Every structure is written in C-alpha cells, then in structure tokens.
Amino acid sequence: MKIGVLALQGAVQEHARAVEAVGAEAILVKRAEQLLELDGLILPGGESTTMRRLIDRYDFMEPLLAFGAAKKPIFGTCAGMILLAQRINNQESNHLGLMDVTVERNAFGRQVDSFETDLVIKDVADDFPAVFIRAPYILDAGPAVEVLSEDTGRIVAARDGHYLATAFHPELTGDTRLIAYFRNMVEEAARAKV
C-alpha cells in the first residue's frame, strides 16, 4: 500500500511518519509521474496559495485531477482541504475543485489564535486531539458529503466519496487513528479495482 504526500510545501515529513506508523509505505511526491505508482495521496497543511503556485509551476494540476478521476483516495489537511474544495468563500476560483464543499479560509483567526481541542470524529474516535493552525472550515457541504466532525457548529472534517478533508492537522499529534481511517479508505478503493 503506497500513500503519497505531496511534497511541494507544508507538513510533509510529519504526514510521511504518520503514514508509516499505520503500516503503509509513504512516498514523498516531488514529480507528477510519481502519482502513477500510488494507491492514495495526502495534500498536507501549509499555505494553499503557495501550494497552488507550485502545483502550476511543476505541472501537477492535470495529473492530480486524473488521480481523483481514477477514484484514488485523496486526503486534504488544513490547506489541503482548501485545495480540494469546489468553492472558496469570497474567492472567484477554486484550486482542484474535487470535493463538493465551500470552505472559509483562515476561519479560526491568525497564527496566534491556534488551538487544540478534542473532537468526536464519526467512525474514528470520541476524543481525537485536533490541532488547528490558521485553519479553514467547511461552510457548506453538498448532499453526498458526510460530515464527520464539527467544532462549535463548524464542520471541520468531512468525506465526499473517496475524498477526505480536515481543517486540523492530524499529523501533529501521536494519534494515528485518522490516518488509519484514510489508509482503510485506500485499501477499500484498491480492492474495488481488482
């Protein structure tokens, strides 16, 4: 089971360690052709505008869209959630536009407003330690989107078929239950192709 971490910018090594901790092989993706060998992909937290510029510069856009179209699971954390969203509030264009959600950028405030809280995440945990850093959240989710977690009424984790997104950083804690949930999504998708 090979799970890639888009290694253009952001919390790349932390995600790779979490992937290895749940028994999958982590691949640091620096070239678009590497996507062809993967079973799943993580779009890490970082800065979404910078990540988009790098996606364009290194010709990742079409290969990433093809990866999603092939029904291979993609997990976006924090900035990765913004990259996946079909709609970004107060912004005319999206990035990948793969997940039927509207997101609000920097919705919890600036870096100094970062916080940690325990979340109930459906099918994952009743006490997941979530780290929010300049986090977005989902303002609106389409009818097929499954809301997995909310914090003070704001959607902070959701699944849309083979897409998973969180507003927080699961890789910054020692808790691998959410990464294991994604690994299971990847395994299910791989079995469905056989």
List active site positions: 78, 169, 171
How is residue 126 written in tokens? 């009743």
Quick check: helix, strand or coil at residue 142?
Answer: coil
Query: 131-162 burial, b if ≥16 CB within 10 A, otherwise e?
Result: bbbbbbbbbebeeebeebbbbeebbbbbbbbb
Q: How far is residue 155's CA from residue 88's CA, in Å, rounded to a whole number?
A: 14
Q: For 96, which DSSP code?
A: S
Q: Identify whether the C-beta of residue 139 lies closer than 8 Å to the C-beta of residue 102.
A: yes
Tokens for 191?
């079995």
Residue 155 Cα distances to 84, 92, 138, 188, angstroms: 15, 22, 5, 25
150: helix, strand or coil: strand
Q: Which helix (H) or strand (E) holds 64?
A: helix 61-69
